[in-house]
Amino acid sequence: MVIPTRTLLFFLLTASLMAQSAAAPDSAPTENEQQLLRLLPASLPAGTAAQAAPAFYKPDTLYKYMDGGADAFLLYDFQTLLHQEFRTDKADLSVDVFDMGMPENAFGIYASERAPWYYFIPIGTEAYRNEGILNFLQGRYYVKLAAFGAGSDSALDQFARAISAQIGDAGSFPALLQQLPQTHLKRRSEQYLLKDPLGHPFLRPSYLATYNLDNQESMLLISIAATETEAQQRLKQLDQHFRDSGKSEAAPDLGPGAIRASNSFEGKLIAQVKGRYLVALFNPVAGGPEILKEAVDRLK
């Protein structure tokens, strides 16, 4: 009797986890870990086999796998990592599925590792590949694949598409990104900072985007508060920070409650509040006030 590949894979993974559980009673897979296991390809390509049991990492153990790289993921409230090694006929491949808890957090860490000049492909919400790697964003997951050996490109593509299909809905980028001014926007420069944006805890969380104006770059920051009152308080804190470290003054020409500020290490900025959003533009070169105004007008 020939055992289907999917059944064999499930049996191998379950047997491995049961063996681990027998050795350490507390190591039985959690519901979250079982959910991550279900994201592995439903059936492996011919000639492909798992090389070892799946490994799971939590916030307090991620450093054992990533060492110095763990800190960046912890800044986005990383939840669980599933790591699995596979061998195809011609290539070795590793699969890392990061559960970041929320789509915004997954976008944040994904965006922090991409660059505008990468080669992007349509897998999940967005994917990029380079020699030996293929990474993609989908929902609350950030999936990172690496392979080497002949046929690695094909293996990467097959596994990425299979995992994406298991996740299901392709997802989308955070809705706020659609409200950003599009004129002069540097494509794929958008980022999401969950903690301490630009070193200021009171600005969290924030979205950032880069704009090319007059052959110079300006950075737009949108800090999301729970209420308009809180957003106004954030503006006061930002104003006070610049008064303490440089200078800040009211800028009624920019709009109600707006400020214009500068210091020696953060440079110049203009900022104002719209509803529960604090909007600030760093390095506001010629055309900057128009970007700020459009950003404020587009926010809902």
How far is the CA of 271 from the CAs of 160, 196, 292, in angstroms? 42, 18, 8
Assigned token pair, 291 = 């970007």
Percent of the chain exceeding pLDDT 90 equals 83
The CATH number for 5-167, chosen from 1.10.1740, 3.30.420, 1.10.10, 3.40.1000, is 3.40.1000
Longest dimension (CA), the chain: 80
> Do 5-167 and 175-298 fold alike per CATH?
yes
Express each pLDDT in 23-70 by its tens digit. 333 467 899 999 999 999 878 877 889 999 999 999 999 999 998 899
What is the model's pLDDT at position 51? 92
Q: Domain residue spans in the chain?
A: 5-167, 175-298
Q: Which CATH class is domain 175-298?
A: alpha beta
- 286 or 9: whose pLDDT is higher? 286
pLDDT(7) > 70: no
User: Residue 1 above 50 pLDDT?
Assistant: no
Cα 245 to Cα 63, 141, 238, 251, 285, distances in angstroms: 36, 40, 11, 18, 21
What one-letter code names the amino acid at 209?
Answer: A
For 129-153, b where at least 16 C-beta lie within 10 A, e where not — what string? beeebbbbbbbbbbbbbebeeeebe
pLDDT of residue 236: 98
pLDDT of residue 38: 95
Mean pLDDT for the chain overall? 90
Nearest CA among 242, 239, 227 for reference residue 277: 227
Check whether 280 has a pLDDT greater than 70. Answer: yes
Q: What percent of the chain stands above pLDDT 70?
A: 91
Instruction: Assign 151 a pLDDT band (cuts: 50, 70, 90).
Output: confident
17 confidence band (pLDDT: 50, 70, 90): very low
- The pLDDT confidence band at residue 12, using thresholds 50, 70 and 90, is very low
Q: 159-215: per-residue pLDDT in tens?
A: 999 999 999 999 999 999 999 999 999 999 999 999 999 999 999 999 999 999 888
CB 299 within 8 A of CB 222: yes
Confidence at residue 14, expressed as pLDDT on a 0 to 100 scale? 40
pLDDT the model gives residue 56:
97
Look up residue 157 and give its two tokens. Answer: 């593509």
Q: Which amino acid is at 295?
A: A
In the predicted structure, residue 252 carries a pLDDT above the cut 80: yes
Report the pLDDT value the prediction gives residue 11, as an integer from 0 to 100.
Answer: 37
Rounded Cα–Cα distance for residues 113 and 238 (Å): 28
What does the alpha-carbon distance between residue 260 and residue 138 come to, in Å, rounded to a whole number?
Answer: 39
Q: Which residues pair with 96 in a beta bridge?
A: 83, 144
Q: How far apart are CA 186 and CA 189, in angstroms?
A: 6
How many C-beta atoms lie closer than 10 Å to residue 208's C-beta? 19
**230 near 276, Cβ under 8 Å?**
yes
pLDDT digits (tens, 9 = 90+) for 87-144: 988 899 999 999 999 999 999 999 999 999 999 999 999 999 998 999 999 999 999 9
What lies within 8 Å, CB to CB, of 223 at 6+ separation is: 197, 203, 204, 205, 206, 231, 234, 277, 278, 279, 280
